[in-house]
Structure 1
Amino acid sequence: MTTTITPIAIVTGGSRGLGKSTALHLAAQGTDIILTYRSQAAEAQAVVAQIEALGRRAVALPLDVAVSARFADFAAQVKAALATTWQRDRFNFLVNNAGHGAYASLMDTTEAQFDALFNVHLKGVFFLTQKLLPLMADGGRIVNISSGLTRFALPGYAAYAAMKGAVEVMTRYMAKELGARGIAVNTLAPGAIETDFGGGTVRDNPEVNGFIAAQTALGRVGLPDDIGGAIATLLSPGNGWVTAQRIEASGGMFI
């Protein structure tokens, strides 16, 4: 009789938005979750409760992806959580989702804005992955979140899109270097989504929402579940042979 081991996923920024949707979709397909939050502990615990209601186990850990000096401590917390909650020493999936936006023209972007984007979206993803890889099982998978803005250009997002473009290159290098361990690494690039990201403009501004919907093949703006479902599908058992790819989930925005 073969015993199937439940996979464990780490989802950064899992207390809200796309990360929350990803965690819930993964739980629904049989994955246990370690989710991170920066400051919203109550929201994170509410997601843990939702995951547990689906019959899965979950732990919420604090993490500021902008502060790489604390990543070793975070890895130690992950190791302890694996031992305490699962009696295991390895996790299987990493979804590098945590992030924030910044809207400013090329001329108006400040160094502080640029550095904040760099620390979270590029440096943070690089070094957090580095610190967690010793705890990842061989044959695991990594999904890095990018953006449709690396394919099409909208004024005001130069710095943000530049970081995400770098993430896409980094993903291919990760796939190459980690292939020997059987670890698949891919990029998931959302289009415009109705969340509180960037102040909730896409969700709350009817003009912006209508403009994007009119430029999208499927005729509407994306929802968090569109992305959470896509990431969960990418991490499903049948997709293990997909690696080093940029997969856009935008409903056909600006095609």
Structure 2
Amino acid sequence: MRVAIVTGGSSGIGQSAAIQLAKRDTAVILTYSSNEAGAKDTVSAIEQEGGTAVALPLDVGRSDTFAAFRAEVVEVLRGWDRDTFDVLVNNAGFAKTAMFADTTEELFDEFFRVLLKGPFFLTQTLLPLMSDGGAIVNTSSSSTDRAEPGYSGYATMKGALVVLSRYLAKELGPRRIRVNSISPGATRTRLGDNGFERYPEMIPVLAAKTALGRVGEPDDIGLAIAGLVGEDGRWITAQNIEVSGGFDL
């Protein structure tokens, strides 16, 4: 049985990734910040399918809490007769829009803490517990390749995450740890303060800009993550893979 850690597993892409990994004989440690109910739903969905999962609280914007989180992970692993884990999915995050001229230092720093510094130092903290031959996936965004007004701060951090993934792939290669990033396009999640629910009129607009004719669903991304970290992705590393249905071709 493999073990995966999935951050931001209480909804959306993280929830789907956790469930899809569990279907592939993987025990899952998933994290949540404010949405404990959603995390419990994820655990319940996994257990109903005969899988194993534990939800732990984690604020990826608080790197000072990472050592304590690692200690909790160690305890969970002991309960599963393991002292290492195999897969890390750095998925937790948030999205806000602000024009460049209106981006405050406070918002910029929040983007930095959650979207870049968090995955950087969480991975560093957990790395001693990761088994050789494991896999890491960092969730980036297609906004890094498509300049849309209002996303300069967000996309800057997501772009840096792609660069970090390549460097990690290089440095961790001797341990046979594969590192990739994925870049979802427009996907129906809770990001942006439930933007899809608040602005349903945007759905057909985004679908019209997508080659496959619809917006993405969390499972579109979760399935890609599960496949990438599994045996089918064993020879893929240092890549950024767009999973967008052909958005804005």
TM bin, normalised by shorter chain, reads over 0.9
SS at match of 1:227: helix
User: Is 2:26 the counterpart of 1:39?
Assistant: no
Write out aligned runs for 1:55-94 (5 A): 55-84=50-79, 86-94=80-88
- Displacement of 1:117 in angstroms is 0.7
For residues 20 and 206 of structure 1, what CA distance do their matches in structure 2 show?
22
SS at match of 1:206: coil
SS at match of 2:147: coil
Contact 1:201 1:208 in 2 (8 A): no
- Displacement of 1:203 in angstroms is 4.8
Q: Deviations over 1:148-200 (max 9, x none)?
A: 00111110010000000000000000000000000000001100111121022
SS at match of 1:164: helix
Write out aligned runs for 1:236-251 (5 A): 236-251=230-245
Q: Percent identity?
A: 55
Distance 1:49 1:146, change over 3 A: same
Q: Deviations over 1:16-35 (max 9, x none)?
A: 11100111111112211000
For residues 52 and 90 of structure 1, what CA distance do their matches in structure 2 show?
22
Distance 1:50 1:206, change over 3 A: closer
Aligned to 2:132: 138
For residues 80 and 235 of structure 1, what CA distance do their matches in structure 2 show?
24
For residues 136 and 193 of structure 2, what CA distance do their matches in structure 1 show?
28
- Normalising by structure 1, report the TM-score: 0.95
For residues 254 and 22 of structure 1, what CA distance do their matches in structure 2 show?
25
Which structure 2 residue ranges, 5 or more long, are not aligned?
none
Amino acid at match of 1:42: A
Superposed CA RMSD in Å reads 1.0
Which structure 1 residue ranges, 5 or more long, are not aligned?
1-5
For residues 54 and 32 of structure 1, what CA distance do their matches in structure 2 show?
12
For residues 52 and 190 of structure 2, what CA distance do their matches in structure 1 show?
27
Aligned to 1:182: 176
User: Which deviates more from structure 2 when the two are superposed, residues 177-186 or residues 193-202?
Assistant: 193-202
- Report how many residues are paired: 249
Q: Deviations over 1:113-138 (max 9, x none)?
A: 11111001100000000000000000
SS at match of 2:201: helix
For residues 240 and 38 of structure 2, what CA distance do their matches in structure 1 show?
30
- Normalising by structure 2, report the TM-score: 0.97
User: Which deviates more from structure 2 when the two are superposed, residues 73-82 or residues 198-207?
Assistant: 198-207
Contact 1:171 1:185 in 2 (8 A): yes
For residues 197 and 154 of structure 2, what CA distance do their matches in structure 1 show?
19
Aligned to 1:54: 49
Aligned to 2:165: 171
- Displacement of 1:43 in angstroms is 2.2
For residues 35 and 136 of structure 2, what CA distance do their matches in structure 1 show?
25
For residues 74 and 206 of structure 1, what CA distance do their matches in structure 2 show?
37
- Displacement of 1:40 in angstroms is 2.2
- Displacement of 1:224 in angstroms is 0.7
Amino acid at match of 2:9: G
For residues 141 and 227 of structure 1, what CA distance do their matches in structure 2 show?
16
Amino acid at match of 2:200: P
For residues 35 and 195 of structure 2, what CA distance do their matches in structure 1 show?
21
SS at match of 1:107: helix
